[in-house]
Structure 1
Amino acid sequence: MKNVISRGFWIAVDQKDRVIGSIGLMKKTNEVFILKKFFVYSEYRGKELGIGKALFEILIEFAKQQGGRTVLLDTPSTADRSHQFYRKNGFKEIKKAELPVTYKYPDRNSLLFRLDLS
């Protein structure tokens, strides 16, 4: 995976410069950010390659550098593998009423998660 400098959106590319993953960060307030567009093609998933983890770590470091204290995300309720990744990396599932900011997300029985960066 090559490093790409970004202002809130990162991609992972393979040796042939084909996009194999992405992750984005949307700023809602000076302290609250939303994780967006986190995806890694199935053949590049898993801790052996570490593509998802690398993208996630870049995003978290960037959020902290920007003064972020909280990262939120929404994810389809059926995305069990994603839920495991988020929980393993410190996210806690929350209810809609617990969101510190409002934002639009697809209402597809999404689960909401929060990560405090302190």
Structure 2
Amino acid sequence: DLDFFTLSMRNVVGEGGGAAHAVLGTVIMALAASVISVPIGLLTSIYLVEYGQGRRLSQWITFFVDVMTGIPSIVAGLFAYALFEIILGPGTRMGLSGSAALSVLMIPIVVRSSEEMLRLV
């Protein structure tokens, strides 16, 4: 039924309700994470391919990208939640911390894939 995806939760108990807010929140968090991670990943891969060949900084960046690839998602999520809870204070909306955690997980993938594509050109 399409109403499940287009309607908001009407009440806590009883019949009715939908997942419109959950779907919208997921899309917003994914877009925010993409806005954060795609420029960082692209600029990093451009540096690694074009300017950083054989330099010590590029070796460190490659090492940290490899380490970031192995970060479990629960660790990234808890770290981002704790960091934003400390910075913004308790009781704030945590969509920003979810986007930050997702971008930490996305950056190594963006770096590796764009680095491979740039090496082919």
TM norm structure 1: 0.28
Higher helix share: 2
Structure with the larger RCO, 1 or 2 (CA within 8 Å, 6+ apart): 2
- The TM-score with structure 2 as length reference comes to 0.27
The answer to which structure has the higher strand fraction is: 1
